[in-house]
Every structure is written in C-alpha cells, then in structure tokens.
Amino acid sequence: MTRDAAVSKAGEIASSVLAPSAGQNDKLGRFSAEAVKALGESGLLGLLLPVDFGGAGLGPRTFAAVLATLAEADASVAMVYLMHILGVATMSAARSGAAQAVAPILREVGAGRHLSTLAFSEAGSRSHFWAPISRAHRNGNGGVCLSSKKSWVTSAGHAQSYIVSALAPEGAGPTDSTLYLLKAGTRGLSVAGPWDGLGLRANASAPIALEECEVSADLQLTDDGAGFPAMLNVVLPLFSLGSAAVSLGLCRSAVTGTVAHLKSAKFEHLGQSLGESLPTLRAQLATMQVDTDGLSARIDDVVDHLEKPRETTMLRVLEAKAAAGEVVISVTSTAMRICGGAAFSKHLGIERLFRDAHAGAVMAPTGDVLREFIGKSLLGIPLF
Ligand SMILES: Cc1cc2nc3c(=O)[nH]c(=O)nc-3n(C[C@H](O)[C@H](O)[C@H](O)COP(=O)(O)OP(=O)(O)OC[C@H]3O[C@@H](n4cnc5c(N)ncnc54)[C@H](O)[C@@H]3O)c2cc1C
C-alpha cells in the first residue's frame, strides 16, 4: 500500500462508515465495531506493521495523515485507531524472548483481525503513567501474576489485546516498570465500569481490572524494568504525533462546519448570510484557519524530526502534543462562539468537536506535564 492509497482508503472509510454514524454513536456512547472492521478490511490496522507480518510498512507521515482524516469524521474512532497503532508498535518492538509468541498476533493485525490498545494509567498514580502502583509478582512458572486497577483503557472490552504496565518484580524505583501483553479473555481481566465521558464518548475508554492475571514469560514484552524506556522511545513519539493529528482533524472539521453555517444561516431582514453580514465572524473564522494551518505545519515538522532524528527531536515531540491540545480547544471554542445558539443547542455537529477537543490536554502526558518537561529540559533539570 502506498501513502496515497492509505490516505484515500481512510477518506473512503471516513465518509462511508464514520461520518454517517458519528453523531449517533457519540450520543449513545456506542463503540463502532463497524469502523474497526472497515479499518481491518482496508489494511489500515497494519499501517506501520512490517510487510513480513502482512502490514503496509508505512511511516509516521502516512500515520498522521490517516489519523487526521479519520478524526475529521469521528475523533472517537481516530483515538481507537491511535491506541491500536501504539499497541502494535510496542508488540513489534518486543524483546527477542517474546518474538515467537507475538508473531501470530502481529500476523492477525496484518490480516486486519486484531485490535490492540494500551493499559498504562492506574487509579493510584493517575496521569503519571510512567510510575505504576501495581507490581508484577513471579508466579513460579517463569511468568508473573498481575493485579491492578487500570483507570482508563480505550477500546476496553473490544480490543483483542492489552499492553499492560506494572512495576518489575524486583524494580527498586518508581519507573522500573515492565510491559506485558494480555490477551482479551485472560482469566482475571475484566471491564470494571462504564465509559460516559464528556467527549470521545464512542471509544469505550472504560477502566479495566486485573485480578491475579497469570502472564507467561513469552508475553513479557520488555526486559524487567525496561518498560519505561519503551514508553519513552516507542510509545511517546507516536502518541504525541497521533494526538496532534487527531486535534488537526477536529480543527479541520470545525472550520468546515463553521464555513457551512456562515454560508447557510441567514439574517432574512437584511437579505444576507451571517458570513456576508458580519466582519467579526469572518475575522474569527480566519483565526481558526490560521491556527489550523499552523498546527498542520507543526505536524509536518515533527514528522520530519521523526524521519530524520536529531538533537531537537524529543523537544519537538513534547511540543507537538502540548501545542495541539491548546490549538484544538481554541479553534473549537471559537467555532462554538461563531455558530452561536445553533451550536449551543446541538443543531450542528460543532459541540461534539468541542467536547472531543478537550480530551487531548488531559490524556497523559497531559499538557501541563508536557510543559513541565519542556521547561525542565530547557533548564537542564532532570525530568524524573
Ligand atoms: C478519552 C480518554 C482516553 C484514555 N485512554 C487511555 C488509554 O487507552 N490507556 C491509558 O493508559 N490511559 C488512557 N487515558 C488516561 C489518560 O492518559 C490520563 O491518565 C488521565 O486522563 C489522567 O486523568 P487524571 O484526572 O486522573 O489526572 P491527574 O493526574 O489527576 O491530573 C489532574 C490535573 O493535574 C495536572 N497535573 C498532573 N501532574 C502534573 C505535574 N507534574 N505538573 C503539572 N500539572 C500536573 C494535570 O495536567 C491535570 O490537569 C485516557 C483518558 C481519556 C480522557
């Protein structure tokens, strides 16, 4: 699959599967199994997966473009897709001792039949996902036993696998974690509550409970204590880029929806559309467009840094999610104001975008934490 083919497939799915049901799924908090099926059949679930496993072997540039395209129609589905890609990237980077057990799962991903996700955040350490409270205990069979309360897991109850973090059995420090692969159906793994979020309501980001889950040694994805470097080097760059791309899709959708409203809503007594009549609304629309294109340029820049890693790459990665989280709230808030009562009373899809936009800043690493990291790194202060 080429980059253009991938983006065009994402566009077809966005218009034929996502857009028609995004509003209703948001209202009902309904996870779109049809969307996941369509993504699987199109080959997009294996977008970054090496071709040896049936994947497309494409890179971050295509990933960002596909995500923005999906998010323009339905950010809930885009977030499901993003967490899946992160799960697959973590499996693909697994230590050699897990390669044999992981290979059939990756082939299922390549065939479009396997959805994955990350289960890092815990009730105890909240957004500080790099410091799990739960600890893996050796089970005497070479594997471990895991018990924990994972507070938010996108695609909970729908994914076929969960990438789970826990402190390593002998880990001494708060970040000495290990990553494990738990298949859906593992004894002791259950969805522990409903998902009724303000935004991204259709992505099943419910808590899951792990109660004495046995994990065999071949499903230990990192060496003991090497979970944290995997989070930083494998997950964080793609998550930050992906989160920014989801924000971009939301911004584009907000601009499109606002333009449509400004053209169609009329002041009948003046014989003009809102857009023709009010320069203040045109100026606010222009600001939305400027900010959206600015975010697009930032995403191109971070992609370039990921394709050609250099000294400033990690800084750009941290900046991308922090900046995108603010831009998308600003753009969708302006859309709410421009579209006025029609948006407020939910006659347009704009308020869904506004609610979805607020997830980016609170998803960890949160916007505040990213600023902390950026500030500390500029001053040469250790981040952890
Ligand atoms: C829609 C959605 C989907 C999610 N999906 C997943 C998933 O699939 N897997 C997963 O593992 N997790 C997931 N999460 C969890 C997410 O990554 C965060 O862990 C969670 O949102 C943290 O919420 P909290 O209120 O408990 O954070 P808290 O830690 O209580 O943060 C509260 C506030 O304090 C601020 N804050 C915290 N620490 C600092 C600091 N050091 N400096 C400055 N400010 C700070 C935060 O920015 C925030 O504003 C998801 C969350 C959402 C909303």
Question: What's the 3-state SS for 166-232?
Answer: EECCCCCCCCCEEEEEEECCCCCEEECCCCCCCCCCCCCCEEEEEEEEEECHHHECCCCCCHHHHHH
Span from the CA of 173 to the centroid of ligand 1 (angstroms): 21
Task: Read off the pLDDT of each residue in 316-330 and give the average, rounded to a whole number.
Answer: 98
Ligand 1: atom nearest CA of 361 is 47
| Residue 27: Cβ within 10 Å count | 12
Question: What's the 3-state SS for 98-142?
Answer: HHHHHHHHHHHHHCCCCCEEEECCECCCECCCCCCCCECEECCCC
Ligand 1: atom nearest CA of 359 is 53
- Give, using CA atoms, the residue closest to atom 39 of ligand 1: 369
Task: Read off the pLDDT of each residue in 241-264 and give the average, rounded to a whole number.
Answer: 98
Lowest-pLDDT choice from 55-69, 98-112, 294-308, 335-349 = 335-349
pLDDT for position 383: 86
- Kindly report the CA angle at 339 between 335 and 340, in degrees rounded to 5? 115
Task: Read off the pLDDT of each residue in 272-293 and give the average, rounded to a whole number.
Answer: 98
Is 152's pLDDT higher than 90? yes
Cα–Cα distance between 281 and 286 in angstroms, integer?
9
Pocket test for ligand 1, best of 84, 86, 152 (most atoms within 8 A of CB): 152
Please say whether the beta carbons of 178 and 137 come within 8 A.
Answer: no
pLDDT for position 45: 98
Please say whether the beta carbons of 136 and 145 come within 8 A.
Answer: yes
Is 384's pLDDT higher than 90? no
Cα–Cα distance between 347 and 268 in angstroms, integer?
19
Task: Read off the pLDDT of each residue in 29-43 and give the average, rounded to a whole number.
Answer: 98
pLDDT for position 347: 86
- Give, using CA atoms, the residue closest to atom 30 of ligand 1: 126
Question: Which residues pair with residue 119 across a beta bridge?
Answer: 164
Q: How does DSSP classify residue 382? A: -
Span from the CA of 152 to the centroid of ligand 1 (angstroms): 9
Span from the CA of 364 to the centroid of ligand 1 (angstroms): 5
Q: How does 344-362 read in b/e, with b if 16+ C-beta sit within 10 Å?
A: eeeebbbbbbbbbbbbbbe
**366 CB within 6 A, ligand 1:** yes
pLDDT tens track for 346-361: 888 999 999 999 999 9
Tokens for 28, please give them: 């009902």
Span from the CA of 127 to the centroid of ligand 1 (angstroms): 4
Ligand 1: atom nearest CA of 372 is 42
**127 CB within 6 A, ligand 1:** yes
Task: Read off the pLDDT of each residue in 130-144 and give the average, rounded to a whole number.
Answer: 95
**369 CB within 6 A, ligand 1:** yes
Look at residue 272 and give its three-state secondary structure. strand
**365 CB within 6 A, ligand 1:** no
Q: Which amino acid is at 311?
A: E
Ligand 1: atom nearest CA of 121 is 11
Cα–Cα distance between 169 and 176 in angstroms, integer?
9
Over the chain, what is the mean pLDDT?
A: 97
Please say whether the beta carbons of 305 and 316 come within 8 A.
Answer: yes
Q: How does DSSP classify residue 366? A: P
Task: Read off the pLDDT of each residue in 236-245 and give the average, rounded to a whole number.
Answer: 98
pTM: 0.97
Long-range contact pairs involving 62-66 (C-beta distance under 8 Å, separation at least 24): 62/3, 62/6, 62/7, 63/238, 63/241, 63/242, 63/245, 64/241, 64/242, 64/244, 64/245, 64/248, 64/299, 64/303, 65/3, 65/6, 65/7, 65/10, 65/245, 66/6, 66/7, 66/10
Give backbone dihedrals phi and psi of 255, rounded to 5 degrees, phi first.
Answer: -65, -45
